[in-house]
Structure 1
Amino acid sequence: MSAQSTPEPAIPGPGESRTAGSRRGKGRRRKPRAGRRKALLVAAWSAAGIVVLGGTGAGVLYFKLNGNLTSLDIDQALGTDRPDKADDGSQNILVLGSDTRSGGNQDLGGGTDDGTARSDTAMVVHVHKGHKKASVVSIPRDTLIDRPECTDTDGAEHPAADDVMFNSAYSTGGAACAVKTVESLSGLRMDHYLEVDFSGFQKLIDDLGGVDITTTEAIKDPDSHLDLPAGTHTLDGEQALGLVRTRHGVGDGSDLGRIQLQQAFVKALVEQVKDIGLLGNPKKLYDVADTATRTVTTDSGLGSVNSLMSFAGGLKNIGPAGLDMVTMPVVYDPADPNRVLLEEAKAEQVWTALKQDRAIPANATEGTAAGGAGGVVNASE
């Protein structure tokens, strides 16, 4: 059950490694789906750094924006059987991208108007002590995992399941089950969660005036309606959505390559936000804040503009150079090209580093499945 916060005035503010054959996809091989619903992590990072604009130093909001926000009581749904909170000043945030196949999302991404939703994008954002650096771990939706039993925010209980896709956690029990699954997988306590809807992403980029990126090779993917020659571009919302959704236009055509594009786009977006200059443009400032607050759903701890502003203010010193973005170590499943398997020993290196608030060691991702799209997209100079 979701609940909107009541309006309040805003304030100014700134093991062993699993072998490739140890888990196999169950069922028929499926044709990769054409470029679908993968943009949303970008808008979620925007929600943390742009939504309330505390990270840009603007911090000017209207009380009406508070009523735009939707929040869920994740802590109540999860109960007390969770990893301990970190006591070193660091924070972990689960960023989800969801598509409810209705309204604007149906128009943008296809599907049926049946009210169902999935999370096709998930990132664990670890903000290090001092809040000057962040490590971001993308979790591929096609990873086969053991999903724990969980209770959703409506109180319904869902049994555990073995060898299922990671994104089945959200489609089964919503945000609370996704958080439960990530905590089970990583051993990290999620202090907050942010969820972004599909249709809001496109409008947010348009409100920002586009995002500048440079492509080192041409990207053409009819499925995501994207046709970019090599060179420098200012992407509007539709093009940005196409870029972070494209799967067949670059790399090996896998979901992992798409994650690499998304990570590059996030860095370009964070770089640009520093110089947007919204403070001198009240209408643009309001349009961005209005769209962003309508786009996100948060845990109840971030369920007001002031709370979200305070949270975003803690991220204002993290620029592109302070973002270490990796994909959770996986290997391709030889039984099904559309699935990946957790590389347990290397994944444990990642999670252990974050538990100890250390940088992720480079060798934790060496030799793992990557996607082949690294370096294709960069922030424009």
Structure 2
Amino acid sequence: MTDTENVDEDRRVGRRSRVLKIAGLTLAGALVLGVATAGWAYWHLNSNIKSVDIDSALGTDRPAKAVTTPSASASAVPVPTGSLNILVLGSDSRSGKENKALGGGDSSGARSDTAMVVHIDAGRKKATIVSIPRDTLVTRPSCPLSSGGSTSVAYNAMFNTAYSVGGPVCAVKTVESITGVRMDHYIEIDFAGFAKLVNALGGVTVTTTQDINDDDSHLHLKKGTHHLNGKQALALARTRHGIGDGSDLGRIGLQQMLVKALLTQISTHDLLTDPTKLYEVTDAVTDSLTTDTGLDSLSELISLGQSLKSLSADAVTTVTMPNVTAPSDPNRVVAKEPAASDLWESLR
């Protein structure tokens, strides 16, 4: 080989070396960026979640807690089994521009306009959702306040005043007081979060059996099947004057229909194979979520979700707490006995 050929060969080797170095640095940079992005996404989603330490606030004066045993699993972290009761509240929040734009109003504070006790059977393959009418008259127990002291016992109080006077802690204590059922977890989502979740899922399909015309919730639908966006779905969840007798009981039926429709919509998405969609849905959920401290991290929410992977919409039963018109007020209801007590007994 001549000197000129040797020089050309050295140049080619040098160019290949530089190309390999550049490719290696690019790959390393991409990996670092990917890890950093994933780390930031996890931190962001985790920090979205707000929590309340309900267990510490209520102490031991509560119904007995169901025993939860780990399932036989080859995974490092066994998926929990056993029955589970979760109080889910829909918060009529007045805070933030998004909530106000969606109908939260101009006043401060919030109301629990939707209250559901979600009972998940042992094995996590069936669930019962019990709606508690917001207009139910109850004996509201004394509740501890975060500022110190406690609220007074209130007789013939509307159920949703518990949240108004004492927040999540009082909502949980009141539900446990009237049901005798231990709430293992607490989940609250506000106006904006619900609308964002529906939009992130691409909308939700529902079928109404009658025309709905409610100027208060700005919802006007002909009976039939409709694909709703987040704002429309929220209006459906809030409407009461445009259906039935205009009471909260008619609204509960719509809310239960929406829950099952959302479960169906979620099941149509394979979120694990679509990281962008998974992030969008998770961000929508966590951004407006308040939980107890047992569910206040992304890993704990994921663990709960994994334990429910065999739960389909068809395996979810929705009912309303048995009730009758209150003798003291035709616009309020009270628990119908013994049917209500029998229902709660079945969830213990």
Provide the TM-score with structure 1 as the length reference. 0.74
SS at the partner of 2:155? strand
Aligned to 1:337: 330
DSSP-derived class of the 1:338 partner: strand
Q: Tell me the CA shift for residue 197 of structure 1.
A: 1.1
Displacement after TM superposition at 1:248 (Å): 1.6
- The residue that corresponds to 1:320 in the other structure is 313
Q: What is the rounded CA distance, in whole Å, between the counterparts of 1:224 and 1:139 in structure 2? A: 21
Map of 1:1-381 to 2, 5 A cutoff?
62-87=42-67, 89-103=82-96, 104-114=98-108, 116-355=109-348
Deviation of 1:280 after TM superposition, in Å, equals 4.3
Question: CA–CA distance in 1 between the matches of 2:337 and 2:147?
Answer: 33
How many residue pairs align between the two structures? 296
CA displacement at 1:338 relative to structure 2: 2.1
Give yes or no for contact 1:106–1:113 (8 Å, CA) kept in 2: no
CA distance in 2, matches of 1:288, 1:134: 22
Kindly provide the CA deviation profile for residues 338-371 of structure 1, in whole angstroms up to 9, marking residues without a partner as x.
211121311111011112xxxxxxxxxxxxxxxx
Offset at 1:283?
2.5
Tell me the amino acid that sits aligned with residue 239 of structure 2.
T
Q: In structure 1, what is the equivalent of residue 4 of structure 2?
A: none
The equivalent of 1:17 in structure 2 is none
Looking at structure 2, the residues matched to 243 and 143 of structure 1 have their Cα atoms a distance apart, in angstroms, of 21
Deviates more, 1:173-182 or 1:97-106: 97-106
Runs of 4+ in 1 over 4 A off after TM superposition: none
The residue type equivalent to 1:168 in the other structure is T
Contact persistence 2:198–2:233 (CA under 8 A): yes
Could you tell me how far 1:306 is from its partner in structure 2? 0.1
Q: Partner of 1:224: helix, strand, or coil?
A: coil
Give the RMSD, CA atoms, in angstroms.
Answer: 1.8
Q: Distance in 2 between matches of 1:157 and 1:317?
A: 42
1:377 paired residue number: none
Instruction: Please report how far the alpha carbon of residue 126 of structure 1 lies from its aligned counterpart in structure 2 after TM superposition.
Output: 0.8
Residue by residue over 1:285-338, the C-alpha shift from the partner in whole angstroms, topping out at 9 and shown as x without a partner, is: 212111111111100011100011101111221112211111111111254332
Judge conservation of contact 1:98–1:120 (CA < 8 Å) in 2: yes
Tell me by how many angstroms 1:188 deviates: 0.8
CA distance in 2, matches of 1:312, 1:110: 29
Q: Distance in 2 between matches of 1:111 and 1:236?
A: 21
- Cα distance in structure 1, aligned partners of 2:205 and 2:93: 29
One-letter amino acid matched to 2:220: D
Shift of 1:105: 1.8
Is the 1:74–1:153 contact (alpha carbons within 8 Å) kept by the matching residues of 2?
Answer: no
Q: What is the CA-CA distance between 1:162 and the residue it aligns to? A: 0.7
More contact order relative to length (CA 8 Å, sep ≥ 6): 1
Cα deviation for residue 110 of structure 1 reads 4.3
Can you give the 5+ residue segments of structure 1 that lack an aligned partner in the other structure? 1-8, 13-60, 356-381
Q: Structure 2: how far apart are the matches of 1:117 and 1:349? A: 31
Which digits, 9 at most, give the CA deviation of each residue in 1:74-100, with x for residues without a partner? 000001111111126211111111123
Looking at structure 2, the residues matched to 270 and 312 of structure 1 have their Cα atoms a distance apart, in angstroms, of: 12
The TM-score, its normalising length taken from structure 2, stands at: 0.81
Instruction: Give distance in 2, aligned partners of 1:330 and 1:161.
Output: 20
Partners of 1:196 and 1:338 in 2: how far apart? 27
- Three-state SS of the structure 1 residue aligned to 2:100 is helix
Shift of 1:158: 1.1
**In the TM superposition, what is the alpha-carbon distance from 1:156 to its structure 2 partner?**
3.5
Identical-residue share of aligned pairs (%): 57
Moved more, 272-281 or 116-125: 272-281
CA apart distance, 1:228: 1.4
Give the conservation status (yes or no) of the 8 Å contact 2:104–2:191: no
Asked if structure 2 preserves the Cα contact closer than 8 Å seen for 1:153 and 1:176, the reply is: no
Tell me, yes or no, if the aligned pair for 1:73 and 1:153 is still in contact at 8 Å: no
SS in 2 for 1:258: helix
Residue 75 of structure 1 aligns to a residue whose secondary structure is helix
